[in-house]
Structures are given as structure tokens and as C-alpha cells.
Structure 1
Amino acid sequence: MRFVSIAVAVTFLASAGIAQAQSKQDFRLTNKTGYTIDKVFVAPSKSNDWEEDILGRDVLENGAWVNITFPKKNQVCSYDVKVVYDDSTPAEWHNFNLCEISKISIFYSHSEDKTWAEYE
């Protein structure tokens, strides 16, 4: 299994009443793999460094989602995402155009041993 992580501020929204100024790169990452994700990294595609796990001490349980936000002044659109499952298995995706994507869902098929991402 593979996931990508990015070093940005993560906002867990507990209620719909919380409003924030949005960057065009902000997106929602949803875990639909059937497994717990221990780490998430998001980095510009041109970067050689994943930087820090954006979940910190938290995890992303199956069925859960997290909003990933960027500074409003950010101009970069192409990002890579990496996730690491709680069994230390990584998965990566490259070149998401976050200026056009607002949701990324990740999936895993145990029978095919395949991980993939769908986005909108």
C-alpha cells in the first residue's frame, strides 16, 4: 500500500460552522482503504523532501477524512502525496494539480494488492 504526505497545516473540522479563508490548493483527503493511515505527507512535486507528517501524532482511520490547507499566498499547484499505513507500508502518488482538485480519496484492494487514488 502507498500514500503520500505533504508538509502543510492540517485542519480537522469538528463542525461545519468553522469558516476559514481557503487557498486554491486546499483539499480533503479521505481514507477508503480499509486500513489505518499512520502518516500523510504532501510536498510540491519539484521537492526532494517530504518534510513532516501532517497528521502529527494523529492517525487517519478507515472512512475518516482530513482537510489539508495551504497558506493563501501559495502559488504552487503540482503536489505529490504519500501515505504510510500503520504497518509501515508506504504508498505514493505524483503530480496532483491541487489548483483543480478539491478531494482525493484513496483505496486499497486486498484481493489485487493494489492501492489507488480517485480525485475530483
Structure 2
Amino acid sequence: MHGAALAGDQDFSIVNKTGYPLKHIYVSESHSGSWDEDILGRDVLNDGEAFDVAFGKAEKTCKWDMKVAYDDGETAVWENLDLCKISKLTLKWNKSTGVTSAIKE
């Protein structure tokens, strides 16, 4: 109860269903022109694991960009994610197209 009272509207979970570990995840305000620091820090988000992203209660911005990087350096970017409406992003990788997709919930 206490934690929920302090939660920002933008809080969401990232679920890695790509089949590969994610080494870096960056989340920045849309159109900021740069990426904030890696929210995973030194950790890796292994396949099948989830990572909870928390925002401060005072944060008002809803539109955010997200970039993920695999350990081989490949990246995927999503722009203008409305985190006020998204509570979970499940990331999947399509072997035939080489594209990482995000299923929004």
C-alpha cells in the first residue's frame, strides 16, 4: 500500500521474452534528443525476467522513448510511448525479420 501511494503514473514493467539477455535499457522523455543513463545499471535483464521501472510521483510527462541494447550491440528503439497508459511492455524478437517488438498492456 505504501509503495503504491508513491508510484508515478508512468511506472511500468519490462518483460524480456526475446530469447536473449538485454544489457542496457534507456528511457528518456520523447524529443529530448539524448538518452538518460542505463536504468539497468550493471545488471542484465535475462530472457524471461521482468524489470520494474519507477518514476517519481512529481513526474508529469507521459510520452517517453525507450531503447534497449543486446549484449552483441544490436539495439531497438520505441518512440512516444504513452507511459501514463502502459503498465507492461513485453519485448519479443522475431528471428526471421530480426526485429524486436514491444507488446503494450
Establish whether TM, by shorter chain, passes 0.5: yes
Displacement after TM superposition at 1:41 (Å): 0.2
Residue 79 (structure 2) aligned to one of 86, 94, 100: 94
Pick aligned residue for 2:64 from 79, 89, 97? 79
Letter in 2 for 1:100: K
Find runs of 4+ consecutive structure 1 residues off by over 4 angstroms: none
Q: Which residue of 1 aligns with 2:16?
A: 31
- The Cα offsets for residues 60-81 of structure 1, whole Å up to 9 and x where unpaired, read as 0001010000110000000011
In structure 2, give the amino acid aligned to 1:111: S
Does 1:63 find its partner at 2:81? no
Alpha-carbon distance in structure 1 between the residues aligned to 2:2 and 2:73: 34
Provide the rounded CA distance (Å) in 2 between the counterparts of 1:114 and 1:46: 23
Candidates 28, 32, 40, aligned match of 1:43: 28
> What TM-score results when the alignment is normalised by the length of structure 2?
0.93
CA distance in 1, matches of 2:34, 2:82: 18
What is the percent sequence identity of the aligned residues?
42
Shift of 1:111: 2.1
Aligned partners of 2:31, 2:96: CA distance in 1, in Å? Answer: 34
Quick check: 109-118 or 47-56, which moved more? 109-118
The one-letter amino acid paired with 2:39 is I
Structure 1 vs Structure 2 CA RMSD: 1.2
The structure with more helix, counted as a fraction of residues: 2
**Match of 2:46, as an amino acid?**
E
Deviation track 1:11-46 (CA, whole Å, cap 9, x = no partner) reads xxxxxxx95121100000010100000000000102
1:51 offset after TM fit, Å? Answer: 1.8
Distance 2:99 2:85 in 1: 25
